[in-house]
Amino acid sequence: MEETTKTIDRLNDGADKLAKAIRQGHRATSDVSIPIAFEEIRLAVEERFEEIKRLKETKQADASTQKYEFTGETKDIQNCTVRQIRRISDGEIGGWIESEKNLSHEGDCWIGENAWVSGYANVSGDANVSGDAWVYGDAKVSGNAKVSGNAKVSGDAWVYGDAKVSGDAWVYGIAKVSGDAWVYGDAWVYGDAKVSGNAKVSGNAKVSGDAWVYGDAKVSGDAWVYGDAWVYGDAKVSGGVIR
């Protein structure tokens, strides 16, 4: 718990400095090219505050009453044994986790009956994993994020804010999906890619590398956005390659 407190303090300090930088920068210039830089800083602040919230929940959970218990049912999936959960307050049967580190006892976060979370993956806040979705590896789903359908979130990927991942979509690597962004269909977001704001990635589209899709941008069809490419504003990409 002491280490968690130190980490929270460091993140708080970093978030305060970033917020101050935004305020000072906004007063200092009206250059039209600056909003893109501000968007990067804003996203960094959002990530820090989300991490602070997640760590505080973890700390509070140490002394909290349990939200769920195990039913005693187990099954083997993908070389791991997962255990079914049941919500204590109303007896609702939930999904499958490998251990309690996979689902926080704080907040309203939940895993639906057929969904499962394994490895060191963590679901926290008011996030929801449902359908036949699978969250694994070191992935995180937090805030009000929703992962549903046959979607997968893996690796060190992070889905947070009010973001949604659904259908047969897959978010992996160290990719981040945040804000009100929606990744669905058979879309993949991977590598160090980011999808944020109100952006949508769908169809068979892929966003990878250091690419960033944000604002109200839409990437669909067989489009592939990769490398250092940015797609933003009201841009629409429905085919081809952007790098």
- pLDDT, one tens digit per residue, over 161-186 is 999 999 999 999 999 999 999 999 99
* DSSP, residue by residue, 151-204: -EE-TT-EE-TT-EE-TT-EE-TT-EE-TT-EE-TT-EE-TT-EE-TT-EE-TT
Question: Does residue 26 surpass a pLDDT of 50?
Answer: no
Residue 152 lies in a domain: no
Residue 23 falls inside a structural domain: yes
Per-residue pLDDT reduced to its tens digit, 109-147: 999 999 999 999 999 999 999 999 999 999 999 999 999
- pTM for the model: 0.78
Show the domain range for 18: 2-61
On whether residue 40 sits in a domain, the answer given is yes
**Is 15 within a domain?**
yes
Residue 24 lies in a domain: yes
Number of structural domains (the chain) is: 1
192 vs 56, which has greater pLDDT? Answer: 192
Question: Does the pLDDT of residue 55 top 50, yes or no?
Answer: yes
